[in-house]
Amino acid sequence: MSNTPALRESDTAITKQLENQHPLHGVLGRVYANLGGQSFIEEWAIENPGGFIKLLFGATPSMQPMTTIQGDVTLVVHPSLAPTALDAHEIDVTPK
Average pLDDT over residues 65-70: 72
Indicate the number of domains in the chain: 1
Domain housing 54: 9-59
Would you say the C-alpha torsion 75, 77, 82, 84 has a positive or negative sign?
positive
Position 14 pLDDT exceeds 80: yes
| Percent residues over pLDDT 90 in the chain | 21
> From residue 26, how far is each of 23, 31, 53, 59, 83 by CA, in Å?
5, 9, 24, 18, 61
Flag whether the pTM goes above 0.85: no
Q: Is residue 94 one of the residues assigned to a domain?
A: no
The answer as to whether 1 is a domain residue is no
29, part of any domain: yes
The answer to whether residue 24 is domain-embedded is yes
Residue 69 lies in a domain: no
Is residue 90 assigned to a domain?
Answer: no
pLDDT-derived band at 1 (thresholds 50, 70, 90) equals very low
